[in-house]
A and B are shown apart, each in its own frame.
Chain A
Amino acid sequence: MRLFENLTINWLGKRKFFYILSTSLFVIGWVSVAVRGFHFGIDFKGGTEIVLEFQKPVNISQIRGYVANIGLGAVELKTFGSKTGVLVRTELQKIPPKIYPKVVKNINNAIEKIYPSLNYSIVDSSKLSSVTYALSNHDTTNALINKLYKAGFQTGKVSEELSNKQMIVSVSIAEWIKDNLKQKLKDNPFKVVKEDHVGPKVGKELERDAIIAVFLSLLAILIYLAFRFKFIFAFGAVLALFHDTLITLGLYAVLYGVIPGLNLEINLTVVAAFLTLIGYSINDTVIVFDRVREMMKIHKTMPLLEVINLSVNKTMSRTLLTGGTTLLTVTVLLIFGGEVLRAFAFTLFFGIIIGTYSSIFVASAIVLEYANKTKKKVQF
């Protein structure tokens, strides 16, 4: 089968139109960034994130109502994966001091339920993240640790020594949310399938590392291409990459919260997607440039505009086929890849389209504009 063969389209003649298109995409995106800002996940912001998996489908706004007034301030809720998954997020690292005694009281109640009138004392409640109990003997301590764990609490021994009589119980935001939901949703039990805590310092560092990674890869590509082609080609290619990343980032701000089920917030996996986008887009650009390089050697007298048009037309079939197969797999990932990879797949989906577009209308056009402006002949 043959499609797109012997094309003779004057792509670069229409470049003014595409400049306007790119600029408007850019402006729409970044106005949106200025107004709405980016939504960062806890990877960069720090905080606590919990995913609950219910047995039966839940009504998210109902749950939102339940956790709104439990003293944790702003709590974000989203569906996670199917209708039975709920993601709860807060920027808090530790439970507020006001809530702490309430959670401890809940633990006490649970102990009371397991062993009525058991003799115990609280020996350490100075840390907000846990509470330490002292019991009368070793065996009871072990039994209680196991039973409380089965009841849904995170418990542990204070030491591995055989004489250990102390038990530590986790007091976290997750614990408090679980306690509250358990009471409200008695007929729909759930379990915690994922729980992340990221400290604020780590978040800042991850953010810095992500930015370094993106810039470093752009720089490495610039150097490699300057070496393999001419500098102006490398420059055009890297500018095209900036174009792709910035427009896709803008799209993140535009579409955040618009499409149901698509959670567009920036986390580590999304950064990986951006780097892959850079990788894919540059791949595409190089293919076109490779042809331009070859055609320039063959048609030494042909004007650059025509050489580029010819090259773009000759590679068009490949561009669309590879773009098509990659888009196909990314679509599969978008639909069937599960919640964790959805934003990743979306970034690539859009990135492949914009990357293919930019190899022609940004990277090649810049080489052309440069040649026109300097009136110099670009040669290999």
Chain B
Amino acid sequence: MKELRFRIILILGAIALSFYLLYPTYQDIQFTKKMDKTLAEKRKEFKVADPTISNSALDTKIQLLSDSLKSANPAIAKARSKRIKLGLDLQGGMRVVLEVSTGKLLQKIAKNPDAVFKQVMKESEKEASLSDESVVDIVAGKLEKRNIRLSRYFGNIRQSDSQIIKEMKKDAEDAVSRAIEIIRNRVDQYGVSEPTIQRQGERRIIVELPGVARVEEAKQLLQGTALLEFKMLKSPQFAISVMKKIDDVLAGDTLSLSTAAVAKNKKSEKTTKTDTTQNQQLTAAEFAKKHPFFSIAIIDPNSKSADAYVKADEKDRLKLLLSRPDVQKVIPPNTQFLFSAKPIGKQNGQEIYVLYCVDKTPQLTGGVITNAQATIDPQTNSPIVTMEMNSEGATEWARITGANIGKRSAIVLDGVVYSAPVIQGKIPGGRSEINGMANLEEAQLLAIVLKAGALPAPVDIIEERTVGPSLGQDSINDGFRSVLLGYILVGLFMIFYYRRAGMIAAVSLILTILYIMGVLAGFGATLTLPGIAGIILTIGMAVDANVLIYERIREELATGKTIKASVDSGFSKANSAIIDSNITTFITGIILYQFGTGPVQGFALTLMIGIAASLFSALVMVKVVFNYMVIKGIKITIG
């Protein structure tokens, strides 16, 4: 028994771990069921309360309710993030492959393009749409054939063609990073749950948006040009007074609303300070009740700024609160709240975002920026971003910076703040330097963002697939019915053919399926329809190892060996066949994963996990059971 102990613990551990990993998936299904039920009931209620309500108004109401229910219970989001992810073919949604159009970019950066250039571009784009060669090379080749130097249109006269080609390629490369950043930002704001944005090859971007049915709207989101704006931050006093008003409205305290409104800025700042000291005596729950806004948007009382810090999972709730009509009413004109694009740090494992209070009207939009670059300042050794503007922008910028020295200007791309530097002094020539970035990556991101306003990266959709939710649900049902039926048939067959040993195989088979699902959930892998097919196929192929072992044991028994000796040599002789044959299948799985896309990758993944799981089942689990039976003297019947 002792020699089996370790393996038994291992097996029990694997089973427990699989259940643990699958628990969020179970929870998620339960939550979804409950939510659907509540929403359906509420829908009826709303309809009874207001029979004249239009369908679209009802939809928005239900949507708001569902959002608030979701954000009220963090367990829902947690379960969702840890469940087995479903591929687009199972839950519906759209998958788009975008290609950054280098041709359009070149047309944009070309100097004084003439008819010849347009002709060259037209030919090049046509050629590029069918070949793998980069557009830059094609254009360079075509210009060379016509005996035109590249510097006629790109770079400057002193540069050689090869230098210019290098620069053009870098521009093309930059355009892809810009496009990805813009798309990521927008998708985040659009509120798609679990989107994937992936770069593929040189200039492709794969975007997967689960559950999205409004195809044109989503396409618009992915392809539209970016809007870069410079907006002044409100003064801390003003911002805090606005936040206080919001806090009061949310707390339902209308009385203090009027007092807060008359209160002078300075005074209101004082109140918050005293408030925060008082707050220390309040429990968290009491504070949350009294100050619903400040309990989510936390202000550092010792800071000079009015930047509020918001936990990632409370961002949506705060957005919802801010969009309430009664809250909107107390927000003064030309004032708006914007979130930071990226978390500024982590606290207790939670990402923290910043909420800024800014002017609604921008001082300047991004079209005026001609260039932006991230570098390391040689004097301070810290990363900086330099940006240049055209003459028109420079004049405006000089006026703005001159009038706002010491204030902060937010750099806003598509409605989120990427940076909010302090204006140090008047900038006359448009050439500005932004510092304060933590590292070079952050500086590079900011440079990408600054250029996004000026040089939109034109993207073309080259592949687009949409699956409606009903087809996905049908596929899930069909798939799982097949899994169940396949299992029952194979299990019955094994029991029929091998009797008690078959029973062991049938039980180990169900554990194999459990392991596959557990590993899928644990790795955050995506289950696709071909993935389900992979599981079904695994059911058929997983018994192979059992069959090999059982047949060997039978052969050994036939030579007159004892049960114990037959079991031992049966397992050891079947080993090499099992390992060799499974490794070759595994190899094809790896290759399939490398070359496949989307659903096919899902298949390759379940196939590989299935092989590993079935090997574990046969070589560890079934072996332990056999050894145990031999030790205990339980009769082993193999057919």
**Interface presence of B482 (CB below 8 A):** yes
Which residues of A sit under 8 angstroms from B544, Cβ to Cβ? Answer: 283, 318, 322, 325-326
Q: Which residues from B are CB-within-8-Å of A189?
A: none
10 residue pairs bridging A and B, Cβ less than 8 Å apart: A161-B227, A194-B467, A202-B462, A220-B587, A220-B588, A280-B541, A291-B577, A315-B551, A330-B540, A344-B533
Stretch at the interface among A65-73, A116-124, A250-258, A267-275: A267-275
- B486's contact among A225, A271, A329, by CB below 8 Å, is which? A329
- Please tell me if the beta carbons of B497 and A290 are within 8 angstroms of each other in the complex: no
Contact B465 A196 (CB under 8 A): yes
Q: Which residues on the B side are within 8 Å of A221 (C-beta)?
A: 584, 587-588
Residues of A within 8 A of B440 (CB): none
**What is the size category of the interface that chain A forms with chain B?**
35 or more
Task: Type the 1/0 row for B43-67, where 1 means its CB is closer than 8 Å to any CB of A.
Answer: 0000000000001100000000000
Q: Enumerate B405-443 residues with CB–CB distance to A below 8 Å.
A: 414-415
Hey, what's the 0/1 contact readout for A319-341 against B, CB within 8 Å counting as 1? 00110111111101100111011
* B502 (CB) vs chain A CBs: closest residue: A1
Could you say which residues of chain A place their CB within 8 Å of the CB of B489?
A: 328-329, 332
Known: A159-B224, A200-B130, A275-B591. A170 touches B216 (CB 8 A): yes
Set B132, B529, B540, B580: member contacting A327, Cβ < 8 A: B540
B483–chain A nearest beta-carbon distance, Å: 9
Q: Which residue of A lies closest to B491 (CB)?
A: A325
State which of B33-41, B388-396, B469-477 sits at the interface with chain A: B469-477
The 8 closest A-B pairs by CB, nearest first: A326-B540, A329-B540, A156-B217, A154-B216, A213-B595, A338-B478, A193-B468, A279-B585
User: A155 within 8 Å of B by Cβ?
Assistant: yes
In the docked arrangement, what's the CA distance between A53 and B490, Å?
A: 34
CB distance from B620 to the nearest CB of A (A): 20
CB distance from A26 to the nearest CB of B (A): 22
Residues in chain B near residue A333, CB distance under 8 A: 482, 486, 533, 536-537
Contacts of A8 in B (CB 8 A): none
Stretch at the interface among B243-251, B323-331, B370-378, B598-606: B598-606
Q: Is B507 an interface residue (CB 8 A)?
A: no
Q: How far is the CA of A195 from the CA of B95 in the complex (A)?
A: 10
B289 lies within 8 A of chain A by Cβ: no
Contact with A along B563-582 (1 / 0, CB 8 A): 00000000001001100111
Whether B585 and A198, one on each chain, are in contact in the complex, defined by CB atoms closer than 8 angstroms, is no
Contacting residue for B462 out of A130, A161, A201, CB 8 A? A201
B600: chain A residues within 8 A (beta carbon): 268-269, 271-272
Q: Give Cα distance in the complex from A191 to B471, angstroms.
A: 11
Is A149's CB within 8 Å of the partner chain B?
yes
Other CB < 8 Å A-B pairs besides A53-B471, A337-B478, 7 of them? A1-B496, A51-B471, A159-B227, A168-B216, A280-B541, A282-B585, A341-B529
Residues of A within 8 A of B592 (CB): 213, 217, 272, 275-276
Shortest beta-carbon distance from A247 to chain B in Å: 18
Residue of B463, B539, B540 near A197 (CB, 8 A) is B463
Contact of B548 among A81, A168, A200, A287 (CB under 8 A): A287
In the complex, chain A residues whose CB is within 8 Å of the CB of B414 = 160
Task: Chain B residues near A287: list those with CB within 8 A.
Answer: 548, 577, 581
Determine how close the nearest CB of chain B comes to the CB of A338; give it in whole angstroms: 4
Query: Is B73 among interface residues, defined by CB-CB distance under 8 A?
Result: no
Determine if B214 is an interface residue (Cβ-Cβ < 8 Å): yes
Does residue B280 face the partner (Cβ distance < 8 Å to A)? Answer: no
Whole-angstrom CA separation of A7 from B89 in the bound complex: 47
Place the interface of chain B in its size category: 35 or more
Instruction: Judge if A150 is at the interface, Cβ distance under 8 Å.
Output: yes
Are B595 and A209 in contact, CB atoms less than 8 angstroms apart? yes
Q: Is the CB of B482 within 8 A of A268?
A: no
Contact A286 B577 (CB under 8 A): yes
A32 interface contact, C-beta 8 A: no
Cβ-neighbour of A276 out of B494, B529, B537, B554 (below 8 A): B537
Q: How far is the CB of B426 from chain A (nearest CB, A)?
A: 30
Say whether B102 faces chain A, with CB atoms less than 8 Å apart.
no
Report whether B220 and A168 are in contact in the complex, using a CB–CB cutoff of 8 Å: yes
Question: Does B594 touch A at the CB level, under 8 Å?
Answer: yes
Q: Give Cα distance in the complex from A155 to B468, angstroms.
A: 17
A302 CA / B262 CA spacing, docked (Å): 107
The one of A160, A169, A192 in contact with B415, judged by C-beta atoms closer than 8 angstroms, is: A160
Roughly how many angstroms separate A150 CA and B478 CA in the complex, as a whole number? 29
B595 near A326: Cβ-Cβ < 8 Å: no
Query: In the complex, A165 Cα to B482 Cα: how many Å?
Result: 50
Which A residues are CB-close (under 8 A) to B607?
276, 279
Q: Give chain A nearest CB distance to B168 CB in angstroms.
A: 21
Contact with B along A167-198 (1 / 0, CB 8 A): 01110000000000000000000011111111
- B639 interfacial by beta-carbon distance below 8 Å: yes
A282 and B584 contact, CB distance less than 8 A: yes
Bound-complex Cα distance A291 to B495 (A): 26
Known: A224-B583, A269-B530, A318-B548. A275 touches B588 (CB 8 A): yes
- With A213-B592, A280-B585: A344-B530 Cβ-Cβ less than 8 Å: yes
User: Which B residues are CB-close (under 8 A) to A5?
Assistant: 554
In the complex, whether B555 has a CB less than 8 A from a CB of chain A is: yes
- Flag whether A362 is at the interface (Cβ < 8 A): no
**What's the nearest-Cβ distance from chain B to residue A279, in Å?**
4
Q: Is the CB–CB distance between A193 and B537 below 8 Å? A: no
The CA of A318 and the CA of B217, in the complex, are separated in Å by 56
Question: Shortest CB–CB separation between residue A82 and chain B, in angstroms?
Answer: 9
The residues of A that contact B548 with a CB separation of less than 8 Å are 287, 318, 322
Interface pair A340/B475, CB less than 8 Å apart = yes
Given contacts A193-B467, A216-B591, A280-B541, contact A336 B482 (CB under 8 A): yes
CB of A198 within 8 A of CB of B463, answer yes
Check A322/B543 contact, CB under 8 A, given A146-B56, A154-B214, A341-B533. yes
A324 to B498, CA, bound (A): 14
**Residue B162 CB within 8 A of the other chain:** no
The answer, yes or no, to whether B183 is at the interface (CB within 8 Å) is no
Q: B74 interface residue, CB < 8 Å from A? A: no
- Pick the residue among A158, A324, A330 that contacts B224 (CB under 8 A): A158
Q: State the CA gap A236–B573 with chains docked (Å).
A: 24
The distance in angstroms between the C-alpha atoms of A160 and B182, with both chains bound, is 14
Distance from A164 Cβ to chain B, minimum over Cβ atoms (Å): 11
What's the Cα separation between A341 and B89 when bound, in Å? Answer: 12
Contacts of B541 in A (CB 8 A): 280, 283, 322, 325-326
A341 to chain B, nearest CB (A): 5
Residues of B near A161 (CB, < 8 A) are 227
Does B597 have its Cβ within 8 Å of any Cβ on chain A?
A: yes
| Residues of A close to B465: CB separation below 8 A | 194-198
**Roughly how many angstroms separate A327 CA and B551 CA in the complex, as a whole number?**
19
A304 at interface by CB-CB < 8 Å:
no
Q: Which residue of the partner chain, among A202, A324, A345, contacts B97 with CB atoms under 8 Å?
A: A202
